[in-house]
Structure 1
Amino acid sequence: MKINVSAKVFASLFPGTIDLHLAYGYGLNDGGYLVRVETVKVPSSYRMPNTKLNVELEDGEIIKIKSENNKL
């Protein structure tokens, strides 16, 4: 089952990875959770911290990442 969630880029100190804050703003204390993904999965123009994104998930795996301006 595919779902779309909002996300924000949260910088990572590990080489070759970026942390994304998925589903922020849902639930208590702004909800969501951090997911570490390979840098190549995130388009280079979306890698700045606090960039808002839309992420398509299927079975908990990230399938597609787009800018918040380009809704899925």
Structure 2
Amino acid sequence: MDPQTAELTALVPQKTYMHGDRTLVFHRCSQCGITTHWSGVDPAIPNRMKINFTTADEAFPANLPVRHFDGADSWEYLD
């Protein structure tokens, strides 16, 4: 399967994994391996999710709120 042309649907099974402090569950496509999103499992921080839009096509919704996050260094929001 070519990850450039793959389409994630409910029919494609996903694999999940956790690592580190085990507060996030990472979801990836079982066919191509791309991480599609992660969701939080820490009840102290509800409603946490990140969607990997780097794999999305150009039909990105214009009115979707986006926050930029520095997950590599400071672990703070940049906006």
Q: Which has the higher contact order (CA 8 A, sep 6+)?
A: 1
The TM-score with structure 1 as length reference comes to: 0.32
The TM-score with structure 2 as length reference comes to: 0.30
Structure with more helix by fraction:
1
Structure with more strand by fraction:
1
Decide which structure has the larger Cα Rg and report it: 2
